[in-house]
């Protein structure tokens, strides 16, 4: 049974997310607004980045709001879980689906467009009027007589002339580093420009990373359910677990020996972060919470510049930030195990 003062404090904090006068205001109104905003964006990469940003933001909000609800036993005050947290959760889920949907669209778009052609060699036939002198084909060394047609490169300006399209192709085409086919239309490797690929192989090499929605080529970090990820970070973001000590999405982790719902990453384990976790030694618990808050803050600040909220939204965000800073540290740890239970 929670005491009255504590319950009132939780109720006030909960009100920052779901206001007492109308639960529909606060985060529910915000997320609906954000969803509308994102759906209007036509640039798919931008759409993905925004969806990701707002998802992170609302996901964090939900963690805190739920913590207040449970700690304050607000259900006993007649606050409906279904009309607040559960409703919010559903909209957050919609934000997540929007990210997945956008990546699918990006992939579809990529399939229907050609990659940028940089080194394409366009042969051009040049019909000279009075040809001044006899020329030798730069490839087969046969003579191009005065007045005859010849082939030359329109963009290289190398002053080379060829007797036929075949000689032109032989001279300028490159061998695909993957299938060894000779081709005039080739695409240099972004990392190793001396390697080139034909159109088909280049299509094979290009992929859209499911973690950052960027078009990448060549090597990828991992593939899961036929989705590719460009880096460890991108893979961990979509397929990893949240470390409860540093708030990072991680791939290598342990379960706490006493409570399997608590997850600790390999790095934090090495540093002995879990050993500091001690309900009696509050100083240490506070350190962990500080580290986690800092990590979460850094994450959102990084993207804040591209995603400016309105002044009103910023003010309420700051208030929530303050409220989070005052959180009883043990309660935060309790909430962490609750997140994972769900
Ligand atoms: Zn020739
Ligand atoms: Zn090829
Ligand atoms: Zn990526
Ligand atoms: Zn960690």
- The Cβ of residue 182 has, within 10 Å, a number of other Cβ atoms equal to 13
CA of 252 to the centre of ligand 4 (A): 10
Which ligand is closest in space to the CA of residue 45?
3
Is residue 264, in this structure, part of any structural domain at all? Answer: yes
Which ligand is closest in space to the CA of residue 213?
3
CA distances from 315 to 21, 73, 258 (A): 19, 27, 40
Is residue 286, in this structure, part of any structural domain at all? Answer: yes
CA of 185 to the centre of ligand 1 (A): 20
Tell me: the pLDDT tens digits for 57-93?
A: 898 888 888 888 888 899 999 999 999 999 999 999 9
Which ligand is closest in space to the CA of residue 236?
3
Which ligand is closest in space to the CA of residue 166?
1
Domain termination residue (choose one: 57, 85, 113): 113
CB 97 within 8 A of CB 104: no
Is residue 280, in this structure, part of any structural domain at all? Answer: yes
Which ligand is closest in space to the CA of residue 211?
3
Tell me: the pLDDT tens digits for 124-148?
A: 766 655 556 788 899 999 988 877 8
Is residue 156, in this structure, part of any structural domain at all? Answer: no
CA of 239 to the centre of ligand 4 (A): 16
Is residue 229, in this structure, part of any structural domain at all? Answer: no
CA of 197 to the centre of ligand 2 (A): 5
Domain termination residue (choose one: 71, 88, 113): 113
Lowest mean pLDDT, pick from 79-88, 104-113, 331-340 = 331-340
| DSSP-based three-state secondary structure for 11 | helix
Place of tokens 């973001």: 237
Asked whether residue 185 carries a pLDDT value surpassing 70, the answer given is: yes
- Note the pLDDT of residue 213: 84
Asked whether residue 327 carries a pLDDT value surpassing 90, the answer given is: no
User: Residue 279 is encoded by which pair of tokens?
Assistant: 């309900």
> Where residue 338 falls among pLDDT bands split at 50, 70, 90?
very low
Lowest mean pLDDT, pick from 1-15, 155-169, 230-244, 265-279 = 265-279
Domain termination residue (choose one: 98, 113, 128): 113
CA of 159 to the centre of ligand 1 (A): 15
Compute the 3-state secondary structure of the chain and give helix, strand, coil in percent, each to the nearest 5.
50, 15, 35
Is residue 208, in this structure, part of any structural domain at all? Answer: no
**How does DSSP assign 14-45, residue by residue?**
HHTTS-TT-TTSTHHHHHHHHHHHHHH--SHH
Asked whether residue 335 carries a pLDDT value surpassing 50, the answer given is: no
Structure-model confidence comparison of residues 42 and 113, the more confident one:
42
- Note the pLDDT of residue 283: 40
Is residue 288, in this structure, part of any structural domain at all? Answer: yes
Which ligand is closest in space to the CA of residue 181?
2
Q: How far apart are CA 202 and CA 214, in angstroms?
A: 16
CB 162 within 8 A of CB 148: no
Asked whether residue 23 carries a pLDDT value surpassing 60, the answer given is: yes
Structural domain boundaries enclosing 79: 1-113
Asked whether residue 342 carries a pLDDT value surpassing 60, the answer given is: no
User: Residue 121 is encoded by which pair of tokens?
Assistant: 């060699």
CB 274 within 8 A of CB 268: yes
Lowest mean pLDDT, pick from 24-33, 254-263, 289-298 = 289-298
Average pLDDT, the chain: 80
Counting every residue, how long is the chain? 342
Tell me: the pLDDT tens digits for 26-46?
A: 999 999 999 999 999 999 989
Is residue 197, in this structure, part of any structural domain at all? Answer: no
- Note the pLDDT of residue 116: 56
Tell me: the pLDDT tens digits for 143-176?
A: 888 778 888 888 888 888 888 889 998 898 899 9
> Where residue 326 falls among pLDDT bands split at 50, 70, 90?
low
Buried b (16+ CB within 10 A) or exposed e, 213-231: bebbbeebbbeeeebbbbe
Query: How many domains, in total, are found in the chain?
Result: 2
CA of 171 to the centre of ligand 1 (A): 10
- Note the pLDDT of residue 60: 82
């Amino acid at each position: 049974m929670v005491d009255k003062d504590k319950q009132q404090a939780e109720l006030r904090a909960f009100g920052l997310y779901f206001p007492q006068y109308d639960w529909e205001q606060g985060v529910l109104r915000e997320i609906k607004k954000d969803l509308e905003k994102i759906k209007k964006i036509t640039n798919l990469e931008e759409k993905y980045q925004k969806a990701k940003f707002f998802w992170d933001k609302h996901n964090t909000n939900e963690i805190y709001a739920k913590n207040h609800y449970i700690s304050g036993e607000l259900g006993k005050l007649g606050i409906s879980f279904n009309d607040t947290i559960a409703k919010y959760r559903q909209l957050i889920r919609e934000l997540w689906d929007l990210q997945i949907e956008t990546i699918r669209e990006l992939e579809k778009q990529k399939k229907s467009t050609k990659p940028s052609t940089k080194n394409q060699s366009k042969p051009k036939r040049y019909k000279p009027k009075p040809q001044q002198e006899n020329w030798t084909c730069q490839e087969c060394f046969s003579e191009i007589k005065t007045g005859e047609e010849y082939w030359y490169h329109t963009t290289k300006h190398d002053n080379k002339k060829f007797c036929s399209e075949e000689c032109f192709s032989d001279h300028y085409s490159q061998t695909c580093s993957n299938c060894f086919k000779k081709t005039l239309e080739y695409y240099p490797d972004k990392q190793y420009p001396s390697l080139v690929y034909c159109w088909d192989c280049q299509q094979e090499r290009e992929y859209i990373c499911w973690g950052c929605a960027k078009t990448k080529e060549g090597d990828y970090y991992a593939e899961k359910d036929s989705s590719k990820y460009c880096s460890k970070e991108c893979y961990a973001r979509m397929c990893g677990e949240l470390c409860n000590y540093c708030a990072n999405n991680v791939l290598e982790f342990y379960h706490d020996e006493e409570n399997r719902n608590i997850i600790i990453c390999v790095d934090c384990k090495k540093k002995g972060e879990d050993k500091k976790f001690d309900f009696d030694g509050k100083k240490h618990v506070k350190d962990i919470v500080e580290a986690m808050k800092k990590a979460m803050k850094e994450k959102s600040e990084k993207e804040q510049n591209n995603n400016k909220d309105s002044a009103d939204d910023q003010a309420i965000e700051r208030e929530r930030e303050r409220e989070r800073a005052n959180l009883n540290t043990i309660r935060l740890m309790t909430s962490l195990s609750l997140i994972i239970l769900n």
